[in-house]
Amino acid sequence: MSRRPAFDVLTATCPSRTSLARIANKWTAMIVMALAPGPMRFGDLRTTVDGISAKVLTDALRDLERDGLVARHAYAETPPRVEYELTALGQTLQAPLRALGQWAETHIPEVLAARETYDAQRAHRAPQRRGTD
């Protein structure tokens, strides 16, 4: 009986680390959330994910397709039509990413206040040598 290898994202050589890094990328999370309702064309996806460049979106979609999270469907039409949609594997990311998005929206006032406090404290500190923080 073969045993499935144990994966540990905290281990430098663990292949699951690359998946976590991809999922933790801000554009990946936004693309997955944008595709949650269903298939989208590239232009619609770019409009929905405000602020993403065409190159970054293209690269992210290719990476997600390679990882089996997004499927690309090209239709033999004139003009050409391409749609992207979450695969079954990609759909498993919806709940955790939605939870993270909701957390961010709920707690952004506290995060902004913490940043303001931190920045104010740093501004009043005496200059220190580099590397002593």
CB distance 60 to 21 below 8 Å: no
CB distance 86 to 68 below 8 Å: no
Closest residue by Cα to residue 9 from 28, 68, 18: 18
Predicted local confidence at residue 129, as pLDDT: 64
Predicted local confidence at residue 31, as pLDDT: 97
C-beta atoms surrounding 52 within 10 Å: 19
Closest residue by Cα to residue 64 from 72, 55, 52: 72
Say if residue 109 is preceded by a cis peptide, omega within 30 of 0: no
Predicted local confidence at residue 18, as pLDDT: 86
Predicted local confidence at residue 17, as pLDDT: 86
Predicted local confidence at residue 21, as pLDDT: 85
Return the CATH number of the domain spanning residue range 16-124: 1.10.10.10
Sequential pLDDT tens for the chain (133 residues):
556 668 888 888 888 888 888 888 889 999 999 999 999 999 999 999 999 999 999 999 999 999 999 999 999 988 889 999 999 999 999 999 999 989 999 999 999 999 999 999 998 886 666 665 5
CB distance 28 to 86 below 8 Å: no
Sheet containing strand 70-75, edge to edge, reads 40-41, 81-86, 70-75
Closest residue by Cα to residue 30 from 71, 72, 70: 70
Predicted local confidence at residue 128, as pLDDT: 65
Predicted local confidence at residue 24, as pLDDT: 86
